[in-house]
Structure formats: structure tokens, C-alpha cells
Amino acid sequence: MTKNFSKTTVGVGARTELHDALGLTGAEVSVNTLPAGASVPFVHAHKQNEEIYCILSGSGIADIDGETVPLAAGDWLRIAPAAKRRFFAAPDSAIEYICIQVKANSLENYTAADAVIA
């Protein structure tokens, strides 16, 4: 019998991608840590995936299309595929965040509209 779930444990590290670990089929999820004063080493955009970020702890900034966006624990941020982005931890604070990538405009049903009472 095939299980209808998968589980993994994420340890401490710079970046853990969950696509392979969980057998994800509709999203990529990564758990990330930037040490104080560090940054993602490149500016990037995407062809079709929007990204949703959840700031778990710490603070920093995102540079999105040349605009500086402050980030702090509890913040959520959505970035369109074409936006050029780069993330920076504050000089005195590491920043931990989750990044969820999904194909833009692919959501058809959500929450109660996609639920089936068992």
C-alpha cells in the first residue's frame, strides 16, 4: 500500500530544499538561513514560479527590482516571477526564512473549495 504522506526533518543549515525529500509535485519549498551580514550571492528572477517567503526569525532586507523592502520575523512576502530579487541579512542578525515556489496563476481551488469531507 502506498502512503498518502511523506515526512522529513530539517536540521540546521544554510539551505534545505524539500522537493526531493518529500516528493513534492506542485511546489518547491526551501528552509534558509543567512548569517548576520551575509546575502544570497546573486540576483535572480524566475521563468514561471512566483515565490512566497515567510520570515521565521531575524531581520534583513530584500532588494526587489531596485526597491529595498525591510524584513522581520512574522513577515510574509510574495514576489512575481519576473521580479529581480536578492536577500540580505542585517549586519547584526541572521535571518531564517522559508521560501515556497509555485507556478504563477496555477491555483484553482483552495481551502474549503478544495476540501472533501471524509
CA gyration radius, the chain: 16
Paired strand residues for 27:
none
pLDDT the model gives residue 49 = 96
Question: What is the C-alpha to C-alpha distance for residues 58 and 118, in angstroms, rounded to an integer?
Answer: 40
pLDDT the model gives residue 90 = 98
pLDDT the model gives residue 116 = 84
pLDDT the model gives residue 35 = 96
Q: Summarize pLDDT for 95-106 with one digit per residue, the tens.
A: 999 999 999 989
Residue 19: strand, helix, or coil = helix
> In percent, how much of the chain has pLDDT > 70?
99
Q: Which domains does the chain have, with CATH numbers?
A: 29-104 (2.60.120.10)
Phi, psi (degrees; rounded to nearest 5) at 19 = -50, -55
Give me the average pLDDT of each 10-residue run along the chain (118 residues): 85 82 92 95 95 97 98 98 97 96 89 83
pLDDT the model gives residue 111 = 82
Residues 3-29: b if buried by 16+ CB within 10 A, e if exposed: eeeeeeeeeeeeebebeeeeeeeeeeb
pLDDT the model gives residue 83 = 98
pLDDT the model gives residue 1 = 64
Cβ proximity of 89 and 40 under 8 Å: no
pLDDT the model gives residue 115 = 84
For the entire predicted model, the pTM comes to: 0.88
